[in-house]
Structure 1
Amino acid sequence: MGIDVTFIGLFIANTIACAVYSILAPYLPTEANARGINSFIVGLMLAGYPLTAFISSLLLGKYLGKFGKRRVLVFGCSCEMFSTLGYSLLPFLPIEYFLILGFTLRLFQGLGAGCIGTSTYSLIVANYPNEIQKYLGILNISSALGFMAGPVGASMLFAIGGFSLIYITFGLLNLLLIPMVYCLIDKDIYSLMGEHDITSLDLIKNSIIRDYFFVLIISSISMCFISPTYSLHLQSFNISDNLFGLIFALPTVSFIASIYFVINNSWGHKRLFLSGIIILIIANLTIGPWEYLYLPHSIYISLIGIFILGIGICFIYLSALPEAISKSHYEFSNYPKDYISDLVSGLANSFSFMAEMVAPPCSGYLRDHFGFENAQALLAGATFVCLLYLINSPRLVDSLKTKIESTEMAEITETLKS
């Protein structure tokens, strides 16, 4: 069995993209505050990333086949390179140019992320149609490596040469990535396709497919909801700030640890993502923990909550996305599979960025007015309502019933043969 150079290229590209994403939030606010820029402006600057990533993912879903998957991936890496190198100039600029360039670079970085994410998903579906779940799981390991390696590498570079050295180094990594991706990704995996009269909106209008995207949104919101508030909550346990990074890595660790089980499970996709939603409810109630559970206010209970959060997200993501792709191919079988896969990839990527735009401000607002524990409990309650909807969905029930009846029919057939 030969080495799969295509997936190696995707793995490396995704790792570096996630590493670049993870190095901005720890250092840009400090650099901005040193110039008297308040946190609200910094927050707006950071919000430019998911905004352009959301828009570009939606558009690319329709036009990815026309532009070419490899070309879009290379273009995304180029955007990441220019934006990352551009950040190295910020310490040398006056405040007005600091703001203008900072906003502009963040928008370009989001554009690059949208291109990389959408083309990567689509390439996996196109190249590994029968092993989507497996390769998505392995790809998420690359995301985890990037999210962990980025801050560690940035810390060392900051200690050596300060803010600018971080972004020069990671920008040069992206520069090296561009020719490597171009050489590793086969040219013939994309083709120019004609215009089709179906759009991403048509997929969402389909009630069967919409349920699967609904599940993916639940997963993304649960992950993004804790990002602006959990570090503040950890201070109530009187633990060292140096441990915050390790604690925030726990969902990533549990996600990776769950991949093998998800890929090799015999539960079926629907049972798997329903189980994932139940796990998310438990995680959001214990991450506080919520006072009405009458559990002690203990860091250990909170750590259990954030650990199982990653398990729930893994269960949902690696089951709902392949199911959404499969159902989309079936429901729109009169269109090219590659084109439908591009639309699904764009939608899945855009929904994750939409959650990144919506969840953090909602989380911050609820924490300020109701407290962290109650905010997480409200999210758990909303997730429970979603679970009831999915359980009682005729489409979902029929799918589960059909699977059970098919199994029973197979058993009856075997009995008759005997």
Structure 2
Amino acid sequence: MGMLDSALLGMFLTQMMSAAAFSVIAPYYPSVASDKGLSGETIGLVFSCYPLAAWVTSPLIGVIATRFGRKRTFIAGALLVGVVTTAFALLPLFGYGMFTFLSFLQRLLQGVGGAAIGGASFAIIASGYKERMELMLGIQQSMTSLGMMLGPLIGTGLYYIGGFSFMFIALGCNFLAFIVYACWVLPQDKPYMKADAVVKIQHLMKNSGVMSVGIILIIAFMNLAALAPVFTEHLTTNYDVEKASAGFFFTIPSLSYACVVFIIGRIPQTVSRIKIMILGLYVMLLAMILAGPWIIIGIPRSLAIVVIGLILLGIGLALSILPAMPIMVKKAQEDMPYHNSEHISDAVTGLTLFCLYSGQILGPPISGFFSDKIGFENASVLIGSVSLIYAFIFTFTSKSLRPTIMQTLETPLYQEMVSAKKSELVINEEF
């Protein structure tokens, strides 16, 4: 079927609908919750339950996928998301106490299901599409971003047709239909599972090579998530953007990300993926400088410059994220040859999710705190500077870059400087 076979298509469409189910509550749930008496702070906590539940669950996903199978894990997660999405339709029937309890419970369960879907799909790609892992992971992330954008749009149409409850019933039923298709086309699990040979996420966290790449994932998603709590206010206050139009700006990084996916997929493997990731860190720094923009260094305050920053943010994210998982899998397999490579792939998917959600959890509070203290323009640069600092650290600690550094140290100019220094030492010793 060309680039995407039926298994990938079923998996990606299910993920897209799962992302839509995640994002569809944003425009309409707060007003219903306010009518039930929930405060703004409580509503914010309900929204934060999804990434928190996914973060807590992610270290277990690799173990679950190994013991029970990737397909079963994916389908179980999708069913959980589908049932919970449909159950949101019942919320208006309850009073304050039960409404609050069910809101937290359903959002937590939705996060668990989302983590299972994401982890299982990572593992399926890492195992079955090793030669095209970067491209497939990029398409997967692009489909997820598309779902995030489509959720509010689909929800708006359904809401105007039948209201809050109808919206979730229609979306949930459609999602369950995608699950049926995924059950039909997803490949059966390989007979590799052995409970006594499971690779846990703790094993990978002790591997400095794997974790050094994992930190890049944390930084990348922290930069993206940093926009969530303050960027709309920044646009409406400084650039007179209407709140109804602010959501468009959040889609810009996703669009530029999707474009870079296909470019990276065509870059020859002879080009160092480590260097591509480091380039991504530098691009993210530039993106955060322009997203303000940082007028202290003379950049004019212009909405066009902000848009350029958002475009660069998507490019930087793609350059940093897409090579990460293949490198982590390869590094773990090299350092743990006594483990089944399939077990390692499952464990790396759990670690990847853990890093992804860690960044999503860290970004908003850090951004909100520093924006209140020093303003968004300065806060965005401060967050972006983390990319710069880690780029330097990663450059000088990555073994794959050491040959390049050594070549620099072996240039004639450097050798001449060393010889001159040695001659100076000899002269000093003579005196």
TM-score (norm 2): 0.90
User: 1:136 matched to which residue of 2?
Assistant: 137
1:197/1:399 CA distance change after superposition, 3 Å: farther
User: 2:17 matched to which residue of 1?
Assistant: 16
User: 1:28 matched to which residue of 2?
Assistant: 29
Contact 1:57 1:114 in 2 (8 A): yes
1:167-210 deviation digits (Å, cap 9, x = unpaired): 11111122212322111112244643232264211211111111
Contact 1:77 1:177 in 2 (8 A): no
Instruction: Please say which of residues 361-370 and 104-113 is displaced more in the overlay.
Output: 361-370
Equivalent residue for 2:366, pick from 357, 362, 365: 362
Rounded to whole Å, the distance in 2 between the matches of 1:372 and 1:147 is 24
Alpha-carbon shift at residue 288 of structure 1 (Å): 0.5
Rounded to whole Å, the distance in 1 between the matches of 2:17 and 2:85 is 11
Rounded to whole Å, the distance in 2 between the matches of 1:246 and 1:4 is 32
Residue type of the alignment partner of 1:71: R
Rounded to whole Å, the distance in 2 between the matches of 1:359 and 1:127 is 33
Contact 1:363 1:375 in 2 (8 A): yes
Contact 1:216 1:321 in 2 (8 A): no
Contact 1:65 1:190 in 2 (8 A): no
Residue type of the alignment partner of 1:388: F
User: 1:212 matched to which residue of 2?
Assistant: 213
1:381-407 deviation digits (Å, cap 9, x = unpaired): 222111111122153533756999xxx
Residue type of the alignment partner of 1:348: T
Q: Does 1:320 align with 2:321?
A: no
Residue type of the alignment partner of 1:282: L
Matches within 5 A, 1:74-85: 74-85=75-86
Q: Which runs of 4+ in 1 moved over 4 A?
A: 399-404
Rounded to whole Å, the distance in 1 between the matches of 2:161 and 2:37 is 25
User: 1:301 matched to which residue of 2?
Assistant: 305
- Unpaired runs of 5+ residues, structure 1, are 405-418
Q: Does 1:279 align with 2:280?
A: no
User: 2:121 matched to which residue of 1?
Assistant: 120
Rounded to whole Å, the distance in 2 between the matches of 1:20 and 1:401 is 48
Number of residue pairs matched? 404
Alpha-carbon shift at residue 36 of structure 1 (Å): 2.7
User: 2:248 matched to which residue of 1?
Assistant: 246
1:274/1:88 CA distance change after superposition, 3 Å: same
Residue type of the alignment partner of 1:243: S
Residue type of the alignment partner of 1:260: F
Does the residue aligned with 2:307 lie in a helix, a strand or coil? Answer: helix
User: 1:348 matched to which residue of 2?
Assistant: 352
1:3-31 deviation digits (Å, cap 9, x = unpaired): 72211121111111111111122222222
Instruction: Please say which of residues 224-233 and 140-149 is displaced more in the overlay.
Output: 140-149
Residue type of the alignment partner of 2:40: S
Rounded to whole Å, the distance in 2 between the matches of 1:144 and 1:190 is 33
Q: Does 1:373 align with 2:377?
A: yes
Rounded to whole Å, the distance in 2 between the matches of 1:402 and 1:161 is 67
Rounded to whole Å, the distance in 2 between the matches of 1:403 and 1:94 is 70
Matches within 5 A, 1:226-265: 226-235=227-236, 236-265=238-267
Alpha-carbon shift at residue 147 of structure 1 (Å): 1.6
1:123-152 deviation digits (Å, cap 9, x = unpaired): 011111221112112222211221222111
Rounded to whole Å, the distance in 1 between the matches of 2:145 and 2:315 is 14
1:198/1:184 CA distance change after superposition, 3 Å: closer
Residue type of the alignment partner of 1:311: I
1:341-382 deviation digits (Å, cap 9, x = unpaired): 000001101211122222111211111121111110111222
Residue type of the alignment partner of 2:320: I
Contact 2:71 2:189 in 1 (8 A): no
Matches within 5 A, 1:398-417: 398=402
User: 2:96 matched to which residue of 1?
Assistant: 95
Matches within 5 A, 1:103-182: 103-182=104-183
Residue type of the alignment partner of 1:216: L
Contact 2:192 2:342 in 1 (8 A): no
User: 1:221 matched to which residue of 2?
Assistant: 222
Does the residue aligned with 1:88 lie in a helix, a strand or coil? Answer: helix
Residue type of the alignment partner of 1:301: I
Does the residue aligned with 1:187 lie in a helix, a strand or coil? Answer: coil
Rounded to whole Å, the distance in 2 between the matches of 1:190 and 1:32 is 47
Contact 1:270 1:400 in 2 (8 A): no
Quote the RMSD (CA, aligned, Å): 1.9
Rounded to whole Å, the distance in 2 between the matches of 1:78 and 1:299 is 42
User: 1:411 matched to which residue of 2?
Assistant: none
Instruction: Please say which of residues 391-400 and 122-131 is displaced more in the overlay.
Output: 391-400
Residue type of the alignment partner of 1:25: A
Q: Which has the larger radius of gyration?
A: 2
User: 1:383 matched to which residue of 2?
Assistant: 387
Rounded to whole Å, the distance in 1 between the matches of 2:199 and 2:124 is 20
Q: Percent identity?
A: 27
Alpha-carbon shift at residue 247 of structure 1 (Å): 1.1
Alpha-carbon shift at residue 88 of structure 1 (Å): 0.8
Contact 1:56 1:114 in 2 (8 A): yes
1:81-125 deviation digits (Å, cap 9, x = unpaired): 121111111122111111000000001000100100000000011
Contact 2:57 2:112 in 1 (8 A): yes
Rounded to whole Å, the distance in 2 between the matches of 1:234 and 1:57 is 34
Residue type of the alignment partner of 1:326: K
